[in-house]
């Protein structure tokens, strides 16, 4: 299926159309499955969310699905009705499917009753840090989708909403990242930039740029945070690049006393966001 076919199958239909689908070979079902591939997500700007909880979270942020598939037997459950009604009201596509079809759409072991499709939202680097936010987060070449999803959830939990992905990052709209974000993918604002573009942006940023580094010269607990502060986290394997380290105002380390030589990226992000709260 080409990206054009996928887009057509999911977005070209009479507004609020309802269909009952019992064959996994159905074209619309194949289109949803095709969004498992990064190249299809990149070309269509669509992504898939499993489960009612994340879809309800999206709805609470005024985002209705472009398309929703749910188990026909669950059609009268209140949360399913709420999601279907919102999808219909916004002109989306409603697919009542049988268990076999839903099993094909779901990547989780205990398959969900709802799978929905949304359009990705990316913000311009020009707007990064332009609001009245006191903390921003940047991740340099984050590679693991589970880490990225966990970081989105954690940042949302600390009310840090502007998140910049620098360099060759994993896709935040990949299924694993979306699952790990537990609905926070809808609560945060995502930006992306090359390292060069970031370094140019950084020249104009009036706030404090705090890099986290295993051999940072300052203990994170002693840092005088300012508003706004930009926290920069490094890659899982390589840490912060030399260029990025040089661009930071401060390099802080989280003290470690055991035998492990570093914290997992998502854990280090959580500790840093916690420390930066005052
Ligand atoms: N081998 C890598 C290195 O040398 O930096 C380890 C990277 S660590 C798994 C991933 C990221 O988490 C780091 O780049 C840093 O941003 C953060 N991090 C992990 N442990 C840290 C610590 N003790 N102090 C400061 N940052 C830490």
Closest atom of ligand 1 to CA, residue 211: 16
Strands 46-50 and 114-119: antiparallel
CB count within 10 Å of CB 113 equals 20
The single residue listed with the structure tokens 């999808």 is 87
Looking up tokens 């010269």, which residue turns up? 217
Report the distance separating Cα 245 and Cα 215, nearest Å. 11
Residue 109 confidence (pLDDT): 62
Residues in the chain predicted with pLDDT less than 50, given as ranges, are none
Round the CA-based radius of gyration of the chain to a whole number and report it. 21
The DSSP-derived string for 168-207 is: SPPPTTSHHHHHHHTTGGGTSEEEEE-HHHHHHHHHH--S
Residue 68 vs residues 18, 57, 91: alpha-carbon distances, Å: 10, 14, 11
φ/ψ (deg, to 5) at 210:
-110, 110
How far apart are the CA of 237 and the centre of ligand 1, in A? 8
What pLDDT score was predicted for residue 111? 63
* Phi and psi at residue 92, to the nearest 5°: -75, -175
Asked whether the beta carbons of 80 and 74 are under 8 A apart, the reply is yes
The CA–CA distances, whole Å, from 221 to 6, 167, 214, 239, 254 equal 50, 29, 14, 20, 8
* Protein residue with its CA nearest to atom 19 in ligand 1: 263
DSSP, collapsed to helix, strand or coil, labels residue 80 as helix
Can you tell me whether residue 99 is helix, strand or coil?
helix
SS3 167: coil
Alpha helices in the chain (DSSP H): 3-11, 27-34, 38-44, 52-60, 78-89, 99-105, 145-157, 175-181, 195-204, 242-247, 265-275
Beta pairing partners, 94: 18, 68
CA angle 183, 107, 193 (to 5 degrees): 50
Q: Residues with beta carbon inside 6 Å of ligand 1?
A: 212-214, 216, 233-234, 236-237, 239-240, 253-254, 256, 262-263, 265, 268
Residue 142's nearest CA partner among 36, 246, 240, 255 is: 240
Yes or no: say if 275 and 223 are a contact pair by the CB < 8 Å rule. Answer: yes
Residues 202 and 241 sit within 8 Å (Cβ to Cβ):
no
Residue nearest to atom 7 of ligand 1 (CA): 239
Q: 127 alpha carbon to ligand 1 midpoint, in Å?
A: 28
Percent of the chain with pLDDT over 90: 95
pLDDT score at 225: 96
Q: Which of 262, 264, 266 to mutate to test the pocket of ligand 1 (most atoms within 8 A of CB)?
A: 262
pTM for the model stands at 0.95
pLDDT score for 107? 77
């Amino acid at each position: 299926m080409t990206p054009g076919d996928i887009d057509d199958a999911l977005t070209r239909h009479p507004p609020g159309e309802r269909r009952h689908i019992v064959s996994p070979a159905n074209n619309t079902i194949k289109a949803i499955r095709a969004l498992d591939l990064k190249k299809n997500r990149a070309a269509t700007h669509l992504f898939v969310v499993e489960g009612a909880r994340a879809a309800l979270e999206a709805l609470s942020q005024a985002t209705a699905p472009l398309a929703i598939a749910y188990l026909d037997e669950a059609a009268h459950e209140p949360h399913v009705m709420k999601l279907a009604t919102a999808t219909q009201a916004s002109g989306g596509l409603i697919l009542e499917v049988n268990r076999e079809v839903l099993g094909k759409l779901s990547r989780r072991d205990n398959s969900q009753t709802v799978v929905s499709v949304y359009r990705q939202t990316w913000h311009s680097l020009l707007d990064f840090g332009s609001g009245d936010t006191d903390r921003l987060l940047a991740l340099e070449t984050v590679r693991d989708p589970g880490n990225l999803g966990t970081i989105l959830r954690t940042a949302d939990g600390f009310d840090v909403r502007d998140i910049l992905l620098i360099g060759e990052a994993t896709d935040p709209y990949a299924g694993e990242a979306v699952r790990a974000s537990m609905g926070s993918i809808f609560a945060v604002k995502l930006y992306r930039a090359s390292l060069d573009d970031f370094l140019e942006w950084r020249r104009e940023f009036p706030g404090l740029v705090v890099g986290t580094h295993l051999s940072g010269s300052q203990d994170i607990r002693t840092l005088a945070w300012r508003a706004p502060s930009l926290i920069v986290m490094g890659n899982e394997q390589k840490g912060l690049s030399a260029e990025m380290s040089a661009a930071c105002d401060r390099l802080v380390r989280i003290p470690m006393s055991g035998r492990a030589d570093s914290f997992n990226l998502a854990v280090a992000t959580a500790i840093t966001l916690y420390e930066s709260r005052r």
